[in-house]
Amino acid sequence: MQHEQQPIIVGLDIGTTKIAAIAGRKNEFGKLEILGFGRANSNGVKHGQVLNIDETIKAITMALENCYASNPGLEISEVYVGIAGHHIKSLQTRGDIVRHQTDDEISQREIDQLIADQYKTYIPAGDQIIDVIPQEFTVDNFQNIPNPIGYGGVKIGANFHIITGDRNAIRNITRAVEKSGLKTKDLVLQPLASASAVMGTEDLEAGVAIVDIGGGTTDLAVFYEGILKHTAVIPFGGENITNDIKTGLGVLKTQAEQMKVQFGSALANEARSNAFITIPGLRGMPAKEISVKNLANIIQARMSEIMDFVTYHLKQVGLDNRMLNGGVVLTGGGSQLKHLIQLTEYVTGLNARIGFPTEHLAAGHIEELARPTYSTCIGLILKGYSDYENHRKQFENQFRKLEIPENLRKAELVEEEVMDDEESQAQKVRNRKGIKDFWGKFKDGIIELFKEEEDHAL
């Protein structure tokens, strides 16, 4: 089968609260099949930066062991690694080259040369360029060209979005990965990985802000007319909320985390004023009564601050709520807070939704993998496939045959296989076609609606 000729790509998400390793391969429908999955609690990472290499190595090793346990046939040597942290910065540059063979069509080699030249851009001492992302190209007098290959002209140029990070912070990540017995295939900015996992092409064209709320940082990526316009790392995340609860209510950190997940709300007005949580006392001390309303007030204060940062960054790049028709897509572990959508809409003035990494995921996997927590990790695999399909990196030619392990399959899948009538088969095909069919039907429905209105008008 064709999909057995595809490589198995592994994403490694080194986060502040968890480290996840996911191995995936595309099937014949272009959807990701998950062949291995492991996670471990993270101890050596703070605000997205590796501070304790030994603790991080232990956590990476544990996540890998769990990944191997889920599928003993796996062999992992190279990984795509996500990077975040408030040392991440971005800048805009412009680059041009004058062509020698003006009679020939523009080739990929010339585009690669233009991108390679941007790696010579001056950046502050101690920083390192992580990625160079072309935005729109120009060929002579033609502007806003998404892909200039095949055009003819004398001069080709482009605007670039350059992402930089602290050299020592980058070195710590790669060192921790290498000491875990792995090779870093590429470092990918986490909001870009998350964006590829939760969005379709329609979102990119409509204009959208991806807000990935992790444990230590909140990562932002803004797209407009299919182009990456801005990236930023906001130095607050879910762990800051937990620490606020711990300090504000005088409880242990584990109790604060549990209360946030089970009873937390991002809107204090939605919390019941007569509801209380009983916390057992320490070493014979009396039990504590915690107001659910007070808990929500603390969460709302910190989440409002994060959303104020998002609004500030959108204004910085001149993209207000009239231009981003796709609104805000919330993802990451922190996006699962109750009433966060309503708070986001209130603070930013944009429509909001939760982004699940099911956009490119094959059907029939366990529910755990479809949680926003794993958006970055699944996006890292997709970045690997983008490199493979566009021949940007070398991949091994021999691909091993592996089946999806039973422990990563949904239980209902067995029942589905028993059903073989025409309707169930047709339903499966419809599911595989995915979001493009949905938009097609949506468009047809709108056209029919207008036709009906015209008929009534006549």
Per-domain boundaries in the chain: 88-165, 200-355
User: What contacts 93, CB < 8 A, 6 or more positions away?
Assistant: 118, 121, 159, 160, 162
d(CA 122, CA 170): 18
- As beta bridge partners, residue 163 has 90, 131
Quote the pLDDT of residue 312. Answer: 94
The Cα–Cα gap between 44 and 225 comes to 39
Question: How many other C-beta atoms are found inside a 10 Å radius of the C-beta of residue 286?
Answer: 8
Count of all residues that appear for the chain in the document:
458
Nearest Cα neighbor of 406 from 364, 438, 362 is 364
Rounded to an integer, what distance in angstroms lies between the CA atom of residue 14 and that of residue 427? 38
> Alpha-carbon distance 373 to 380, whole Å?
13
Fold of the domain spanning 88-165: Dna Ligase; domain 1 (3.30.1490)
For tokens 């029939």, what's the residue? 364
CA distances from 36 to 74, 99, 113, 212 (A): 7, 47, 37, 23
Do 21 and 182 touch, CB atoms closer than 8 A?
no
283: CB partners within 8 A, 6+ apart: none
Going by DSSP bridges, is the β-strand pair 227-234/218-224 parallel, antiparallel, or unpaired? antiparallel
Which run of H or of E encompasses 340?
helix 340-348
- The alpha carbon of 41 is separated from its chain's Cα centroid by a whole number of angstroms, namely 19
Query: Any idea what DSSP says for residue 399?
Result: -
Whole-angstrom Cα distance, residue 245 to residue 185? Answer: 39
Report in angstroms the alpha-carbon separations of 196 from 5, 228, 348, 361, 362: 23, 12, 23, 11, 15
Please give the C-alpha separations between residue 427 and each of 379, 434, 435, in angstroms, as whole numbers. Answer: 27, 11, 14
Bridging pattern class, strands 155-166 and 208-213: unpaired
pLDDT score of 448: 52
Q: What is the DSSP string of 137-155?
A: EEETTEEEES--TT---SE
Superfamily name and number for 200-355: ATPase, nucleotide binding domain (3.30.420.40)
Strand partners, 94: 159
Contacts of 369 (CB under 8 A, 6+ apart): 22, 34, 37, 357, 361, 378, 408
Q: Which residue has the tokens 């808990």?
A: 295
Largest CA distance in the chain: 86
pLDDT string in tens for the chain (458-residue length): 444 578 899 999 999 899 999 999 998 888 999 999 999 999 889 888 899 999 999 999 999 999 999 999 899 999 999 999 889 999 999 999 998 888 888 888 899 999 999 999 999 999 999 999 998 899 988 888 888 988 888 999 999 999 999 999 999 999 999 999 999 999 999 999 999 999 888 888 889 999 999 998 999 999 988 889 999 999 999 999 999 999 999 899 999 999 999 999 999 998 888 889 988 877 778 888 899 999 999 999 999 999 999 999 999 888 876 789 999 999 999 999 999 999 999 999 999 999 999 888 988 888 899 999 999 999 999 999 999 988 888 877 556 678 888 888 876 534 444 344 444 444 444 444 444 444 454 445 544 544 444 454 44
CB 121 within 8 Å of CB 162? yes
What pLDDT shows up at residue 457?
46
Give the separation between CA 195 and CA 357, rounded to whole angstroms: 9
Smallest CA-to-CA distance from 160 within 91, 79, 108 is with: 91
